[in-house]
A and B are shown apart, each in its own frame.
Chain A
Amino acid sequence: MMAFSENRPINDRARELLEEHRTAIYRRTDRMFAWLMLFQWIAGLAITLWISPHTWAGQQKFVHPHIWAALFLGGLICSFPVLLAWKLPGTTLTRHTIAVGQALASSLLIHLMGGRIESHFHIFGSLAFLAFYRDWTVLVTASLVVAADHFFRGLIWPESIYGISVFGWQRSFEHTAWVLFEDVFLIYTCLMSCREMTVIANRRAEMERMQIEVEREVTDRTREIELQRLVLEESHQRLQRQTNELRSAIEAAEGANRAKSAFLANMSHEIRTPLTAILGFADVLLESGDIGKAPTERVEAIDTIRRNGAHLVSLINDLLDLSKIEAGKFQTEHLPCSLHRLIADLQQLMQVRLDEKKLTFSTEYLGPLPEMIQTDPTRLRQILMNLLSNSIKFTPSGGIKIVINLIGRGNDRKVQLDISDTGIGISDAMREKLFQPFTQEDGSMSRRFGGTGLGLTISKQFAKLLGGDLVILDTSSQGTTFRLTIDPGPLQNATLQQPDKFVETPRQTPRKLAELKDILANVRVLLVEDGPDNQRLISFLLKKAGACVEIAENGQLGYQAATNASLRGEPFDVILMDMQMPIMDGYTAATKLRQDKYEGPIIALTAHAMAEDRNRCVEAGCTDYTTKPVDREKLIDLIRFHSHATSVT
């Protein structure tokens, strides 16, 4: 095959295709004529056998000479063309020989059929069939044979063709003219067909050129795609490496985070444990004996211990809160909460400090408010306490005002609280980073006013967790206004009331130790605690409340003591279980007791204040949970609640 390269002229390829097409037609038509001539031979013989099988002389018959003519002359006429069609198909000699043979076959057939005028149509049919070659020269050859037959026979033996013995040129011309008449149309058809074949060849050559171009384009594109694929694969591998590095970094960060959490937990535990003793004994000192007769300096010293201890607890709580918020582990509650009551409590709580700085405090309600909203009251209280503490801290004179309003419509309603003070204000530079952790105006502020710089950061995070936000609305040297918004929860069925309709309920004041005397009378408490200071403090507090306290120094001893008491039929009413102890920790001891079907209440008492610590205690089998430093009232109420629950059961 002749390859059709791009550099090759398209006309050359078109000519080649045209020649291929013509050759295919010549070969195909040669084969057709070979079969046709064989068929004509056999058909001529059959017709002769049917029309004139014998010649007669009286009653004698002989084989008719036409039979021999049909057999031998007919066979001779078709032999050479068929041989060429078989051996040399598609050549010029073959198709012109076929044209001659076909014209001679027509002549023989006419003779064998008695010169019937109908048999002359074979000539015209043969010419039409020869037009299949689409080669007009073949028609010329066949027509020349027909014309020569007429002229030579007319010249030599005119009776054989014209029935008269005189040769008539006009008759020969007439017969030939009819043949030429058909030739004109057939030659025209051949030329038109050749023109169409040329057009087809040109189009095919163009298509081949286009195909080559498309293939080249496809090859180029495929190569480009392959290159892109390699680049992508390399990028993928690089990305994979980076992903692995990132995963390692994440794992390292998570490890660091876990280490930080562990550090925070341990730090919290290690600080809370001594603080429990410090704060507890400070309370004991203030409330035991005749404190009124003690020197003022001593009372102030004890109070200073309490206040700084409380600050330290607050700092630890802030750090733990921030840690949980940053870890995304902080979860808020949705409880019914009276906003009016909450603000009143805060006012009452801050009244001492307000009085110390001679500051005024006022609240203003703009429009009605729901009596109860759905929020996390602890966190809301923490935010407001922080804001009020700051306002008091940075307001030398004047007052503090809270404006409460219900804004929004439908399901997008918010409670808006604007806390304004007449303080020193916040500088513009500070305003930008006020809500970033560990940020204060400058070093002197910390020394002058105290604080860690965590309060506003945590408050803003809490505000977001409560479905709102905390922003600085306005600040100047005349004062600052913070705006807190929170989601009040669904208010479809809530009743909106004017502020003056809210029922004031008296706030319970902290009870003194003396008021808690005998509140736990006849309650047997097993205190499992390894720290001797806390042993003394908690047992002192509980004994003051009337409880009978037995102490175990670790989980193993506690487990044995509880088991023995149960076996004696005198089980403890409550077990106070420190969770981190030597030999056997509280988790193991609680778990073993529950495995031994111990059903009494076990209250976890731990310096671990993280949320997961509570869950861990409950999972270990503890009934309830409280943290160190010990909230005296809360602890006693907790023991009383569970001991009563046991006795009721």
Chain B
Amino acid sequence: MESNSHIQHAGFRNATYTTSNRTILTAMFAVWISLVGAGFLAMLIYQHDAKPHPEIVSRWPNSTDISRDSTRCNLLVFLHPRCACSLATLNELARIQSQCQDQLAIKILMYQPADAEADWLESPIVDLAEQIPGAERIVDRDGVEASRFGANTSGQVILFDPNGSRVFTGGITPSRAHEGDSIGRQTIESYVCRGEISVDYAKTFGCPLWDTKPNSPSKPRTLNDGVQ
């Protein structure tokens, strides 16, 4: 009886499923798929919206407190501990470390405002950073070191050769908060492992390290800030 009622029901539906209805439904489908496409497009635009970089240092600055390992390449990673998009960066960093092993000295600089709350560094980003083998975690108070190196976006990395010359700068994710093959990761792995380099720059997808509002407590510092 159930199947019979189905037939009757379907028959009723089919009776009302006229040509005009079909046209309306087709139009609805077109509208729907267009809206969905627009949504995806907007999301893609957002994900590939990269912040322009200020002037990046070309050599390891003397003003920094971070020690440089002169026996191997040094990779500095600047992260905002609350930036969810940077989880993808850390996962990609873990892959780079896995690929390069001891040939690369990784230093992760966690941005911490001067007036940050006590739990500022209690986040999945920090926890994940601690799990990357051989990586040195450094708290960058008030973004002083980021300013010295010219970094302003969470997820931005700078690769220096053992002599302290900058080899590459940019992001290591294909888009915002998106893991996968990227130019940045390929370039770092290629240089560290084989000494080859094709590009020295890539877009960085992540949150700004500090507030862009004027006179904000965490405004960007000058290159000489914090120099002792």
Residues of A with Cβ closer than 8 Å to B? 1-2, 16-17, 19-21, 23-24, 27, 51-61, 64-66, 69, 72-73, 76-77, 79-80, 84, 88, 90-91, 93, 97, 100, 104, 107-108, 111, 114-117, 153, 157, 159-165
Chain B residue with minimal CB distance to A87?
B13
Interface string of B167-205 (1 = CB under 8 A from A): 000000011011111110110000000000000000000
B residues contacting the other copy or chain, number (CB 8 A): 58
Complex contacts, A24 vs chain B, CB 8 Å: 2-3, 6
Complex contacts, B212 vs chain A, CB 8 Å: 57-58
Complex contacts, A160 vs chain B, CB 8 Å: 44, 47-48, 174-175, 178
Structural contact, B84 and A55, CB atoms closer than 8 A:
yes
7 contacts between A and B (CB under 8 A): A20-B7, A55-B84, A57-B207, A58-B216, A66-B177, A108-B40, A115-B174
Structural contact, A162 and B218, CB atoms closer than 8 A:
no
Besides A59-B218, A160-B174, 8 more A-B contacts (Cβ < 8 Å) are A23-B6, A57-B210, A58-B80, A73-B36, A84-B25, A88-B13, A91-B13, A117-B179
Structural contact, B3 and A59, CB atoms closer than 8 A:
no
Interface string of B25-40 (1 = CB under 8 A from A): 1001100110110011
Structural contact, A114 and B218, CB atoms closer than 8 A:
no
Bound Cα distance A307, B7 (Å): 112
Say which residue of A17, A57, A65, A157 sits within 8 Å of B46 (CB atoms): A65
Bound Cα distance A79, B29 (Å): 11
B211 on interface, CB distance cutoff 8 Å: yes
Chain B residue with minimal CB distance to A104?
B36
Structural contact, B7 and A23, CB atoms closer than 8 A:
yes
Structural contact, A52 and B217, CB atoms closer than 8 A:
no
Structural contact, A2 and B7, CB atoms closer than 8 A:
yes
Q: How far is the CB of A71 from chain B (nearest CB, A)?
A: 11
Complex contacts, A2 vs chain B, CB 8 Å: 7
Say which residue of A27, A65, A114 sits within 8 Å of B87 (CB atoms): A114
Interface centre among B154, B182, B207 (most CB of A within 10 A): B207
Structural contact, B177 and A56, CB atoms closer than 8 A:
no
Interface string of B1-27 (1 = CB under 8 A from A): 011101110100100010000100100
Contact A79/B32 with A24-B3, A64-B84 known, Cβ cut-off 8 Å:
yes
Structural contact, A80 and B32, CB atoms closer than 8 A:
yes
Complex contacts, A164 vs chain B, CB 8 Å: 174, 181-183, 186
Structural contact, A163 and B174, CB atoms closer than 8 A:
yes
Structural contact, A57 and B211, CB atoms closer than 8 A:
yes
Complex contacts, A100 vs chain B, CB 8 Å: 33
Complex contacts, B218 vs chain A, CB 8 Å: 58-59
Chain B residue with minimal CB distance to A16?
B7
Contact A72/B29 with A55-B207, A88-B13 known, Cβ cut-off 8 Å:
no
B107 on interface, CB distance cutoff 8 Å: no
Bound Cα distance A104, B142 (Å): 42
B138 on interface, CB distance cutoff 8 Å: no
Contact A114/B39 with A52-B177, A91-B13 known, Cβ cut-off 8 Å:
no
Structural contact, A58 and B183, CB atoms closer than 8 A:
no
Say which residue of B17, B35, B182 sits within 8 Å of A88 (CB atoms): B17
Bound Cα distance A500, B215 (Å): 168
Complex contacts, B4 vs chain A, CB 8 Å: 1, 20
